[in-house]
C-alpha cells in the first residue's frame, strides 16, 4: 500500500515525539499487574485481632477485635487527615469489637464498641456508639496470615546481609523491591541496625523464628540511608531518611513469631506485620509506622506514630469486602460523643492459627558520617512496577504531543511545497 508523504511524515514525527516521552520501564505497569492488599489493616495504625492494652496514644486509627484496656488514658487519631477518616469503615477511627476499660478520646472520626464500656469514650468531631464491629477480624487476619507467609518466601537479587561488631547491615540495590530474610537471632543480636536501600523502594524484612526480642541485645537505633545527605540517619519523629520515604515503604514481617518485643530505648521505623504474635512495645520509644498483631501492649512513650505503610507489595490483590453494618463517614464538626457508663469489660475476640547472605561494607558507627555509601552488588533493575494514574497521565500527555509534533512537521512540508 502506497503511503502519502504527509502521512509518512506525520507517522515519523509522532514516533520521534513518543520515543522522547516514553515512560521508563521501571515505572511502567505491566498489563494485569496489581499490588497485594493488606486489607482493612492498611487504614489503621494499630490493627489487633485480640486485646489491646495501651496508653497514652495512637496518632492513627485503632481497630481491636477483642477488648481494649485504656486505663492509663488513651487518645486516637489526632494525625488523621479528613480523607483518611472518610476512608475508614463508617468513619470509625476507633473500632473495638469487645469492651473498653478506662478513658479514650477519639480526636478525629467516630468510634464504635461492641461490649461493655467501663469508663468514658468521647469523640471530638464525631460520635462514639455501642454497636457491631464494621470489621470482620477473623476474615481479615486469615488474609493477613496468608500474606505474611507469602512475603516470607520473597527473595530479590542484589541484597546483602552482614552482621559484624554488634551491627546488622541490610543492603539492597533495586529501585522497586528489596526483600530480606533474616533469623530472629541475627536481628536481635544487633545493637544497631543499618538499612541501605534506594529511597522509594519497597523493603520487606522477614524475620524467621517463633519470637523476637530487641531488648536481648539492647537494640538502641535503626539507621536508614539518606542518599541526598550521603549518610545514615537515625530515624525518629523529627528526622528520617529522604523525608520519610524509606520508612513509609518498610515492612517488618514476622510470619511465625508468637511474641515480638520492642526495646524501650529506641524508635522503630516502618510498619510491623506480626499476625500471630503478642507485640510488646515496652514503655518508651515509638513505632514510626503501623502495627498489625494478634495482641498488643504498650505504655509511656511507646506510641504508634501515624506513618502508614505506602508500599506496593507483590502478589495477588484481594479485594476488601464491604464492612457489614458500616455507616457513611462522619462529617467534621459533629457533636461530641456521650460518656459511657461504668460496667464490666465485655469478652470477645477471635483466635487464629499460625499460619542469605552476602558481603557489604561495615556501617559507619552511629554519630559519624560515611564519606560514601556502602558498596553494593547485584541488579539495579526490575522490581515492582507502579500501577494506576502514574502511567496514564504521561501517556495521555505524550499522545497529545505526538499529534502536535506530527502535525507541525506536516505543515512545514506543505509550506515548502507551496
In order along the chain (418 residues), what is the average pLDDT of each group of 10 residues? Answer: 40 36 32 78 98 97 98 97 98 98 98 98 98 98 97 94 96 97 96 96 98 92 96 91 96 98 93 98 95 97 96 72 39 35 38 37 39 36 33 39 40 41
HSE (side-chain half, CA atoms, 13 Å) at 153: 6
HSE (side-chain half, CA atoms, 13 Å) at 202: 23
Cα separation of 281 and 221, whole Å? 15
Handedness of CA 71, 72, 78, 84 (dihedral sign): negative
Q: For residue 33, what pLDDT is reported?
A: 56
The partner residues of 95 in beta bridges, in order of sequence, read 63, 112
Q: CA 278 → CA 40, 112, 210, distances in Å?
A: 20, 24, 11
Q: For residue 376, what pLDDT is reported?
A: 37
CB 219 within 8 A of CB 240: no
H-type alpha helices, 34-174: 82-87, 137-151
What's the CA dihedral at 307, 98, 296, 143 to 10 degrees?
-70
SS3 (DSSP) at 217: coil
C-alpha cell at 196: 541501605
Among candidate residues 3, 2, 14, the one with its CA nearest the CA of residue 408: 14
Per the listing, cell 541526598 goes with: 228
Cis ω before 8 (30° cut-off from 0): no
Cα separation of 96 and 104, whole Å? 11
Burial bucket for residue 417 (CB in 10 Å: 0-12, 13-18, 19+):
exposed
Q: Is this model's pTM higher than 0.85 or not?
A: no
Q: CA 242 → CA 52, 107, 225, 229, 231, distances in Å?
A: 32, 29, 8, 8, 11
Q: For residue 317, what pLDDT is reported?
A: 54
Q: For residue 14, what pLDDT is reported?
A: 39
Amino acid at each position: 500500500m502506497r503511503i502519502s508523504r504527509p502521512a509518512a511524515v506525520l507517522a515519523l514525527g509522532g514516533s520521534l515525539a513518543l520515543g522522547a516521552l516514553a515512560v521508563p520501564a521501571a515505572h511502567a505497569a505491566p498489563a494485569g499487574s496489581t499490588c497485594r492488599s493488606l486489607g482493612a489493616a492498611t487504614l489503621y495504625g494499630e490493627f489487633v485481632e485480640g486485646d489491646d492494652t495501651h496508653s497514652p496514644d495512637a496518632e492513627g486509627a485503632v481497630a481491636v477485635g477483642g477488648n481494649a484496656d485504656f486505663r492509663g488514658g488513651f487518645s486516637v487519631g489526632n494525625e488523621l487527615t479528613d480523607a483518611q477518616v472518610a476512608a475508614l469503615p463508617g468513619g470509625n477511627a476507633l473500632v473495638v469489637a469487645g469492651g473498653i476499660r478506662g478513658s479514650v478520646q477519639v480526636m478525629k472520626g467516630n468510634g464504635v464498641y461492641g461490649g461493655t464500656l467501663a469508663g468514658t469514650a468521647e469523640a471530638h468531631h464525631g460520635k462514639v456508639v455501642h454497636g457491631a464491629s464494621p470489621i470482620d477480624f477473623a476474615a481479615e487476619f486469615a488474609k493477613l496470615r496468608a500474606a505474611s507467609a507469602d512475603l516470607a518466601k520473597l527473595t530479590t537479587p542484589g541484597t546483602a546481609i552482614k552482621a559484624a561488631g554488634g551491627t546488622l547491615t541490610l543492603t539492597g540495590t533495586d529501585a522497586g523491591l528489596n526483600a530480606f530474610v533474616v533469623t530472629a537471632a541475627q536481628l536481635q543480636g544487633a545493637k544497631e541496625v543499618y538499612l541501605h536501600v534506594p529511597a522509594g523502594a519497597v523493603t520487606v524484612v522477614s524475620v524467621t523464628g517463633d519470637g523476637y526480642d530487641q531488648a536481648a541485645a539492647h537494640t538502641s537505633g535503626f539507621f536508614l540511608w539518606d542518599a541526598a545527605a550521603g549518610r545514615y540517619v537515625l530515624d525518629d519523629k523529627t528526622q528520617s531518611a529522604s523525608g520519610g520515604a524509606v520508612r513509609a515503604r518498610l515492612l517488618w514481617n514476622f510470619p511465625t513469631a508468637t511474641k515480638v518485643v520492642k526495646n524501650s530505648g529506641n524508635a522503630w521505623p516502618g510498619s510491623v506485620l506480626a499476625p500471630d504474635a503478642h507485640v510488646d512495645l515496652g514503655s518508651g520509644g515509638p513505632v514510626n509506622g503501623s502495627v498489625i498483631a494478634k495482641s498488643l501492649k504498650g505504655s509511656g512513650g511507646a506510641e504508634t506514630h501515624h506513618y502508614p505503610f505506602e508500599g506496593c507489595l507483590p502478589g495477588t490483590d484481594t479485594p476488601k469486602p464491604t464492612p457489614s453494618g458500616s455507616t457513611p463517614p462522619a462529617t467534621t464538626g459533629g457533636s461530641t460523643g456521650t460518656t459511657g457508663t461504668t460496667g464490666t469489660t465485655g469478652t470477645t475476640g477471635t483466635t487464629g492459627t499460625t499460619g542469605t547472605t552476602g558481603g557489604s561494607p561495615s556501617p559507619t558507627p552511629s554519630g559519624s558520617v560515611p564519606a560514601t555509601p556502602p558498596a553494593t552488588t547485584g541488579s539495579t533493575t526490575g522490581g515492582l512496577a507502579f500501577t494506576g494514574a502514574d502511567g496514564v497521565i504521561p501517556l495521555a500527555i505524550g499522545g497529545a504531543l505526538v499529534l502536535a509534533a506530527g502535525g507541525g512537521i506536516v505543515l512545514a512540508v506543505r509550506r515548502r511545497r507551496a
